[in-house]
Amino acid sequence: MTDREILGPWLRRFFVEYIVTERNLAQNTRSSYRDTFSLFLPYVSQNLHKPVERLAVTDLTSSLVLKFLGYLETDRHCSVRTRNQRLAAIRAFARYVGSRDPVLVEWCGHIRAIASKKAMPPAIGWLSRTEMDAMLAVPDRRTSQGRREYALLLFLYNTGARVSEAVQLRVRDLNLARARGGHDLATLLGKGGKVRQCPLWPETEQILTAEIHGRAADAAVFVSRLGEQFTRFGVYRLIERCALQVPQLAKRAITPHVIRHTTACHLVQAGVDINTIRAWLGHVSISTTNIYAEIDMTMKANAIALCEVGTPMGRRSWKGDKDLMAFLKSL
């Protein structure tokens, strides 16, 4: 078996040269691709009774890929969206190989012909203003830990930031210039390296000013009780713990993304332009933002009230309009 047939060198070039140097894909995308092949290769090795380092590119047959996708759903209990995400990584690798080696174009075609499974979009969960206020009231602001937790919750609600954007926030990313006649802004690094700025409420500015006092410019804004940068898992745990202490939320799955949805829905209710909300949340397409305009029942009720059909007026024969007949005869 030649080097052109062995899977290992192809995978190394795919990860090191293609997705990093040529495509410059986001770190989360790279991690997703890595996790896909970390699951896929041992599965192939076990099914073919062949060591991973001896696998050939053509060992990754379309039938074996389909079996792997079924294994993800049945044995690992992954969702359809996760299944499609894993398939996207495998298809990207096949496209890369097929574009570099004409001999493997046919193999590439078989892999890329595997269709994604239709998945129903998940329901959008969000909190009412009363529920969000109850969440914000949970941290004990008399303690330093409670103030840190409150600052993080308030920031997520204010900006609608993704959890990765919040934990990566640095002191230098905050522009707290209201006292100098400017605007309080947070600079967020979003998906694909896109940068956006979000305005901060006066209360958020006051809380963050006290929180970052005396810290270096490159220090993390949100830190745990140990003084270390908050992790994604830590933020999830914090929100989960706060939600459990709110009776009306105890049986609901509340995540950082639910707070992001909450921010968007409250902006829609406040009458903010949908394109402004798109820029606020860092969406590439406005069609992604439009879902928030569709799920607000208050706006739907108002729209129905405007279109409500009233009692129909009695119809009158045109012949009964003497003035109209006189007008027509005078022409």
CATH number at residue 59: 1.10.150
For residues 108 and 143, membership in a common domain is answered with: no
300 is catalytic: no
In a domain, 312, yes or no: no
8 Å CB contact between 149 and 238? yes
In a domain, 206, yes or no: yes
191 is catalytic: yes
Kind plus residue range of the DSSP H or E element containing 187: strand 185-189
Q: Which residues contact 125 (CB under 8 A, 6 or more apart)?
A: 252, 253, 254, 258, 261
For residues 280 and 155, membership in a common domain is answered with: yes
For residues 139 and 277, membership in a common domain is answered with: yes
In a domain, 2, yes or no: no
Among 170, 277, 184, residue whose Cα is nearest residue 217: 170
For residues 145 and 196, membership in a common domain is answered with: yes
Of 112, 139, 170, the position where a domain reaches its end is: 112
Q: 186 is written with which tokens?
A: 């947070």
Among 50, 86, 89, residue whose Cα is nearest residue 68: 86
Integer Cα distance of 48 and 187 in angstroms: 50
In a domain, 324, yes or no: no
For residues 35 and 147, membership in a common domain is answered with: no
Q: Domain of 163: which CATH number?
A: 1.10.443.10
50 is catalytic: no
315 is catalytic: no
Provide the residue type at 81 as one letter: R
Catalytic residue among 4, 147, 170, 257: 257
For residues 279 and 188, membership in a common domain is answered with: yes
In a domain, 88, yes or no: yes
Query: What does each C-alpha distance from 162 to 40, 168, 169, 263, 281 come to in angstroms?
Result: 29, 10, 11, 11, 9
The pLDDT value given to residue 183: 81
The pLDDT value given to residue 323: 72
Integer Cα distance of 314 and 14 in angstroms: 74
For residues 154 and 246, membership in a common domain is answered with: yes
Catalytic residue among 4, 191, 232, 236: 191
Residue 94, Ramachandran bin (φ over 0: left; ψ between -120 and 50: alpha; else beta): alpha
Give me the sheet containing 185-189, strands edge to edge: 174-175, 185-189, 195-199
162 is catalytic: yes
Integer Cα distance of 185 and 271 in angstroms: 21
Of 85, 112, 139, the position where a domain reaches its end is: 112
Q: Cα 138 vs. chain centroid, distance in angstroms?
A: 25
For residues 98 and 194, membership in a common domain is answered with: no
In a domain, 322, yes or no: no
The pLDDT value given to residue 313: 55
The pLDDT value given to residue 324: 66
13 is catalytic: no
pLDDT tens track for 100-123: 999 999 999 999 999 999 987 777
8 Å CB contact between 138 and 246? yes
Integer Cα distance of 47 and 67 in angstroms: 10
In a domain, 121, yes or no: no
For residues 135 and 84, membership in a common domain is answered with: no
Of 112, 143, 160, the position where a domain reaches its end is: 112
User: Under DSSP, is residue 31 helix (H, G, I), strand (E, B) or coil?
Assistant: helix
Question: Does the predicted TM-score (pTM) go above 0.75?
Answer: no
- pLDDT tens across the length of the chain (331 residues): 566 789 999 999 999 999 988 998 888 889 999 999 999 999 999 999 999 999 999 999 999 999 999 999 999 999 999 999 999 999 999 999 999 999 999 999 999 999 999 987 777 788 999 999 999 999 999 999 999 999 999 999 999 999 999 999 999 999 987 656 668 899 998 887 889 999 999 999 999 999 998 899 999 999 988 889 999 999 999 999 999 999 999 889 999 999 999 999 999 888 888 888 888 888 888 877 887 877 655 555 655 565 555 555 555 555 566 676 676 677 6
The pLDDT value given to residue 37: 96
Catalytic residue among 148, 260, 266, 278: 260
Catalytic residue among 83, 162, 196, 266: 162
Domain count, the chain: 2
Q: 153 is written with which tokens?
A: 């919750």
For residues 138 and 264, membership in a common domain is answered with: yes
155 lies in which domain range? 129-304
8 Å CB contact between 18 and 96? yes
For residues 292 and 229, membership in a common domain is answered with: yes
For residues 78 and 152, membership in a common domain is answered with: no
